[in-house]
Amino acid sequence: MVKHSWRSTAVAIAVVASTVLAGSPAGAGTAAVQPVAVPSVSGPLPGTAPGDPKSPDLADTYPFFATPDDLAARGYIEQEFLISGRADGWDTSGVRVATGVPYTTRIVVRRPARAARFNGTALVEWQNVTAGYDLDALWNADTVTRAGYAWIGVSAQRVGVDQLRGWSPARYGSLDVTGAGAYLGDELSYDIFAQAARALTATRKPLGGLKARTLLAIGASQSAARMTVYYDRVLPQVEPVFDGYGFIVGSAPVRRGPEPVFQVLSETDVRSPVRPPDTDRFRRWEVAGAAHSGHAGQVYRQPIQERDLGAAPVYDCAQPPFSRVPLHHVVAASYAHLDRWVRRGTPPPAAEPLVVNADGTKQRDELGLARGGIRLSQVAAPIALNSGDNSGESFCRLFGTHVPFDQAVLDELYRSHAAYVGRVVHADLRNVRAGYLLPADAARNLRDAVTAPVP
């Protein structure tokens, strides 16, 4: 892990805070920061997809939600490990409610096969369990592999672990993050997440011997909310493990600690004109037209859901769902900025916020597109209405909307296909220069624009 001056500063701040706050909920009974234990690591577990999760033979099973991406072609491998140890428990107000509770859970690792491909940064994702099972919401093969990151998914919460135990008893039957049922509110999850990260640098076994110099904690939506509690209320009392934090399509801390915090929100997630200010340790970006859960994620997950759950869900939304504004392009840029922020102290650029009315609705132009925010070429050179709004059953409100423009609108917007492509290039170059888009993603947008159905 990178050795920064702020790391010793973080420990010093935590020590002072725990002494000053003694007697208050966030610091009760502590005189110094609590070290984060190193768990034992076993694995990698045998078995690859496709397989039989119900087989009693472990080697015939495979990791739940194993990626269908061709990692070998990208110079990557996927492995799964069990980590075991004793975790402290914390409630959501930051009070320690348990110490030394035994646990066992799993981590999934997707990493470069060779050290030469590794950029030294590990993205440690808190698996999202909103759907009732572990979801690697922030995994994107292009983002991770072209930059050389290692990605680690941590199963920290009861709902996800319980589903795993039922899905494959042979593979996951030993998992428990509740202290044998004593702690059902995910009190152990904060320490488990931190211990999983400690295992990466203390043993290097999960990374196959690769040396991680930087650990970035990332979480989306529900997971971002759990990480917010960790950063605001638990982290001041414990040893810092992560170098920086990425809070995606979810809440972010109000405390300003020494570790940089980056928040990236879709249009769906912005519901108030009141925002926290950017600081030298906090950045917030808002992406026009993007949805909390958009098209790219749905396309990636559908075959996995069919394989591991028997079917992919079908939704009846009020508007055609799944915005096609690629939020993951902005998230990829945010990782690169967060990495530099940690390593060099260079803060990311600020970004214009969305224009939000006093009642929380977004101001929109004559095409229905949100005003303000980071405007990717899918919004700056539109061929469809992409928004973050929708309604209907289940998760429809998170999917946004995608309605292609009819020919009359396209004819009014673009005098030729070349004119359309030119606007896409202009918008993407502007975003690349501003730091909101990586060149590789701009190139992908150009390829899409060349084949787009614009006469």
pLDDT tens digits, residue range 356-412? 999 999 999 999 999 999 999 999 999 999 999 999 988 999 999 999 999 999 999
Q: In the predicted model, is pLDDT for residue 124 greater than 50?
A: yes
What confidence category does residue 292 fall into, taking pLDDT thresholds of 50, 70 and 90?
very high
Identify the band that residue 19 occupies on the pLDDT scale cut at 50, 70 and 90.
Answer: very low
Residue in 171, 164, 173, 198 with CA at minimum distance from that of residue 81: 171
pLDDT of residue 8 exceeding 80: no
- pLDDT confidence bin for 150, thresholds 50/70/90: very high
Distance (Å) of CA 193 to CA 37, 154, 182, 227, 231: 11, 7, 19, 9, 12
On average, the pLDDT of the chain sits at 93
**Is 23 a residue whose pLDDT tops 60?**
no
A 10 A CB-CB count for 71 gives 19
Reply yes or no on whether the pLDDT at 436 is more than 60.
Answer: yes
The amino acid that residue 314 corresponds to is V
Q: Tell me the pLDDT band of 32, cut-offs 50, 70 and 90.
A: confident
Average pLDDT over every residue of 253-265: 97
Per DSSP, 370 falls in state B
User: Quick check: 82 and 60 in contact, CB under 8 A?
Assistant: no
Give the percent of the chain with pLDDT over 70.
Answer: 93
pLDDT at residue 68 is higher than 80: yes
Residue 11 has what pLDDT? 43
Please say whether the beta carbons of 103 and 86 come within 8 A.
yes
pLDDT digits (tens, 9 = 90+) for 196-222: 999 999 998 999 999 999 999 999 999
pLDDT, mean of residues 24-47: 76
pLDDT per position as a tens digit, 179-191: 999 999 999 999 9
Beta-bridged to residue 262, according to DSSP, are 246, 283
| Residue corresponding to tokens 């079908």 | 314
Kindly report the pTM of this predicted structure: 0.92
